[in-house]
Amino acid sequence: MVWIKRFLITLPFAIAAVLNVLVIVADRFHLHREHVAGYGFLFSTPWAWLLDHPGWFPNVHNRLLMAAMSYAVILWIPAGLYSGCLWLLFLGLGFGRSARNPPRE
């Protein structure tokens, strides 16, 4: 059961990594990057209300840094939020289980 929890907590980061690689490959081979980017936006949609706040990230004029910040906002920050929520869920379920079944002495 511990391995399943660890797998589920790291799964959002694996999804973000796959989407990141797919966008880079689509860009290198001049494929339709918009289709892959749509999956990234679908991945980050539940957190859009939090990430769309205008004052969180500064306006940067460096193209490479702006691309890195875009990847972070669209893929990596939502992956961290998903993992954090799953961890809190497992933590809450664990406390509920231990409160119902106290350890025997």
Over residues 19-27, mean pLDDT: 89
Give yes or no for residue 22 having a pLDDT over 70.
Answer: yes
* pTM, to two decimals: 0.78
Which helix (H) or strand (E) is 40 found in, with range?
A: helix 33-44
| Alpha helices for the chain (secondary structure H) | 2-28, 33-44, 48-51, 63-71, 77-100
pLDDT band at 105 (very low <50, low <70, confident <90, very high): low
Rg (CA), the chain: 18
